[in-house]
Amino acid sequence: MGLNSSPGTLWKQHRLDREKEEVDENDANMEGALIARDKVGVQDFVLLDSHTSEAAFLNNLRKRYQENLIYTYIGSLLVSVNPYQELDIYTVTQMQLYRGVNFFELPPHLYAIADNAYRVMCNEYNNHFILISGESGAGKTEASKKILQYYAVTCPTTEQLQTVRDRLLLSNPVLEAFGNAKTLRNDNSSRFGKYMDIQFDFKGAPVGGHILSYLIEKSRVVHQNHGERNFHIFYQLLEGGDKDLLCWLGLERNPQKYTYLIQGRCAKVFSINDKNDWKIVRKAFSIIDFAEKDIEHLFGIVASVLHLGNIQFEEDSNGHAIIRDGTQIKWISKVLSPLNVDLAFYARDAVAKAIYGRTFTWLVNKINSSLANQDSTRKTVIGLLDIYGFEVLDTNSFEQFCINYCNEKLQQLLIEMTLKAEQDEYELEGIEWEPIPYFNNKIICDLVEQKHKGIISILDEECLRPGEATDLSFLEKLEEKVGDHAHFVTRKLADQKTRKSIDWVDFRLLHYAGEVTYCAVGFLEKNNDLLYRNLKEVLCNSKNSIIRDCFLLSELDNRRRPETVATQFKNSLTSLIEILMSKEPSYIRCIKPNENKEPGKFDDFLIRHQVKYLGLMEHLRVRRAGFAYRRKYELFLQRYKSLCPATWPHWHGPAVEGVERLIKHIGYKPEEYKLGRFINGFINRKKPLCPENRDFVRLSQYYYLMKLRDHLPKNVLDQSWLKPPSILEETSEMLKKICMRNLVRKYCRGLTAERKGQLQQKVVTSAIFSGKKQGYAESLSQPFLETRLKESDLNPKVLQLIRGEIIKYVTPVIKYDRNGFKARERLLVLTQSSAYVVEMAKIKQKIEYSTLKGISTSNLSDGIVVIHVPEDNKQKGDVILQCEHIFEVVTKLCMFANKQNVVKVVKGSLRLRVGSGKEATMVFTVGPEPQVFKDKTGQLTVVRAQLSTGRNLEASSFASPAAESPPKAGSHHPVSPA
């Protein structure tokens, strides 16, 4: 509910701002910027005389483009036409010119959109996003970079914040190097989706950021179409890397030497300077705070992918693939296991794609950690969405299907937040309105994503079902289940004329942007995205720390089938849409003027097609027929109350009445504004239901319930709940309880026996450690494994010695002996009745659970656990162990022994028995780095380092009454993470 002003009175809103703001010397300069050239055509399509004429729309766009005026408004939406050349409109002078200026006061520009979002965010303290959309090659990535540069230059700063700005800016060239490539339509095409939140503090200064990435096109690593390149980083490394680096990586400068770089036959591109881009990327790594070791490992991975591509196979006498030329083997860690030649090539490419895809995710996470803001105070954000544009290639595969589905979702979002939302608002407010027809692409989104019925669900079924599933069987299932859909056709379903243009392995979708024919070959393989287990094992044990971070050993023990690529992508898109729906939007629609990337060329047919599918004419009609300015009563009154004596400095009464008094005082005519029809209902909304508020309350209830339906919690941990109007508070609380009960019931029914057992263990862990031991909170998300080592990993002699007992858990540990406190590598074996400390083929100590006196661990994250045993002839003393997964080990030990109450988390000191009649005391100290060593007095000291926040992690030491001999050199032992 609020005040709405017609386009004809928009100048009055400007006048209000000008009357309210003090005029300074810069105004003359701003007015002077409106030179004659800027006034070619109209700067806002809303002011176009023939606003219903597509020809007039294109004519205005063409006039301005020919004068290099690439920006035009439709109300607050910006239309941008790619100039395919550098224009002198992005200087620091231009940035300062648009800074803090009213939106329509200067010619249309990206900077005006950026500045308006920033000023509204600062004034109203809410979150914004800027949606940059258009097809591939329309200039979305460049627009995103220009906006980021604008904020870096114009926002308030300090020396400390300058580092944040530099990292925000330089994250772009790094991500472009690893995520962008030359395609037929664009020399710097984003082959992944990117959403970046820029975080601002209460002063409006950028203090941090966070990046979400979506579906990098991994298939490009191993295959490129003619006229296209692999990702930029490969060529940058070969062209710009110094001689020593290339020698260390085993690479040559010539890209023609590498199979993965020659398929597109265009390694050198005139418009791309790989050598210069390499320098920028190297500089960016140092600014973003990458360690030299990380950079070394990162380039090692890039080189390894190139070497992988050069591995060739031939068949031996057994039909197995063998390496034809061993030259490349010294540059990679292991040879692929015996497969036939086709499977060997498939495995080689699968490894290359997996390595590159996961490394890219690691890279994004690494950049995020450098952009993270540690200050917990509330931040406002402006999000920038730069995501791959709509694509139609000669052959469209699974990647184009995902990319175009993404664009369908964004188009749906634009419709929901502009065309549909605006017309719904007029209907809600009771304002006279002639509905503007538009194409709602929800029908296409449903075709792709509908549960159990959509294309993604059908694809997943084929990937997961037992038996022989092929791309052709997937195509047959599509024909069977969605064959009658108006936007879907195959050769079998098409009429005689259409059939000629569709192959037997193709299906065609009629998208909002036009028809796209997809080749189904490869859909199942790309959707499964599986890697042979033995190859995963090799990667998990890599010496490259990045590869180890990307391929975790826990994956090998996880028997659950991972989500398919399409489902992951669908879920991430749903999350993205939820993020965007929670923010105030600004829109930039990018248009590609021609297919050849020629400056000054305006292809009427191509541009008309884009204007049509982007819905720009419908948007113009809605803006033209509607109200260009609207604000809630409270916000309008707060901003302009100083213009009326009756409302200044404070208005005591309903905001609606204050607005009425204000606009009458200013002199608005009745036809120049409208007030929502529910003013009376709004004023009486808190009263019991009565004729004055009935319509308003009923409509409020309806809209709340409809909105609630789309914003229900997704799981039991999601505590979000849409705030209800006061009259629905009781109903809302009841609905919340019902919803949570359903979610809990659904969650419990979905629990497997294995998962249930894990949760029971986690409950025990919580009772023992919650609030008592450092590292507990971080351990919550890490599932306990059934065992860390298999029974088959134990020496057969050990198995023989403990025969008759069921082995439940085995894990590697460090044991500190009682004579000299020397560190020994051992195994801890837990059976149903005893705990064993094992060395190779020997059992060093057996502890029966019935005799277990206690289990002690410190309140620190040092991984130390002491098992207390009775003083008898069988036991020489308490067992001192250090284990990597301490929460898991202690939990399993006390549960198997059924002695949860004997676990103590100690602080200050710990007494333990180290021999017959001998005791030791653990005391705490502080050390500069984590380590375990025996000091000069004979004490075993467990040192914990200081936390980066400045808070000390305490350390522990064992003080024995009888001091041992001084330590030998090299007796220090590093502390494993808990």
Q: Which residues are catalytic?
A: 136-137, 141, 186, 189-190, 389, 391
Q: Which amino acid is at 283?
A: K
Alpha-carbon span 140 to 590, nearest angstrom: 6
Token pair listed for 158: 């300090």
| CB-based contacts of 13, cutoff 8 Å, min separation 6 | 5, 629
The three-point CA angle 247-250-251 to 5° equals: 85
Q: If we measure between CA atoms, which residue out of 727, 638, 636 comes closest to residue 684?
A: 727
Task: List helix spans (H) across 212-319.
Answer: 219-222, 232-240, 243-249, 259-262, 274-287, 292-309
- Strands 514-519 and 584-591 come out as unpaired
Alpha-carbon span 805 to 836, nearest angstrom: 11
Alpha-carbon span 138 to 132, nearest angstrom: 10
């060239």: which residue's tokens? 173
Alpha-carbon span 170 to 363, nearest angstrom: 13
Token pair listed for 384: 């920038």
């004979």: which residue's tokens? 938
The answer to whether the beta carbons of residues 740 and 715 sit under 8 Å apart is no
Token pair listed for 553: 């050993």
- Specify the 3-state DSSP secondary structure of 885: coil
| Radius of gyration of the chain from its Cα atoms, rounded to whole angstroms | 33
Q: If we measure between CA atoms, which residue out of 904, 906, 946, 905 comes closest to residue 925?
A: 946
Under DSSP, the state recorded for 390 is P
Q: What is the largest CA-CA distance in the chain?
A: 103
């502390």: which residue's tokens? 975
Give the dihedral sign, CA 374/376/382/388: positive
Under DSSP, the state recorded for 790 is -
Task: List helix spans (H) across 791-849.
Answer: 796-801
Q: How far is CA 934 from CA 400, 414, 702, 970, in A?
A: 62, 66, 72, 10
Q: How far is CA 558 from CA 355, 533, 724, 748, 784, in A?
A: 19, 11, 42, 20, 11
Give the dihedral sign, CA 338/545/361/227: negative
Token pair listed for 123: 């004034």
Q: What are phi and psi of 384, to 5 degrees?
A: -120, 120
Q: If we measure between CA atoms, which residue out of 65, 13, 19, 11 comes closest to residue 41?
A: 65
- Specify the 3-state DSSP secondary structure of 18: helix
The answer to whether the beta carbons of residues 332 and 344 sit under 8 Å apart is no
- Specify the 3-state DSSP secondary structure of 453: coil
Cross-strand pairs, 699: none
Cross-strand pairs, 322: 314
Alpha-carbon span 574 to 582, nearest angstrom: 13
The answer to whether the beta carbons of residues 551 and 486 sit under 8 Å apart is no
Q: How far is CA 478 from CA 458, 484, 493, 520, in A?
A: 7, 10, 11, 11
Sheet holding 842-848, edge to edge: 842-848, 834-839, 823-831, 807-816, 879-882, 864-868, 854-858, 903-906
> Helix and strand tally (H, E) in the chain?
36, 30
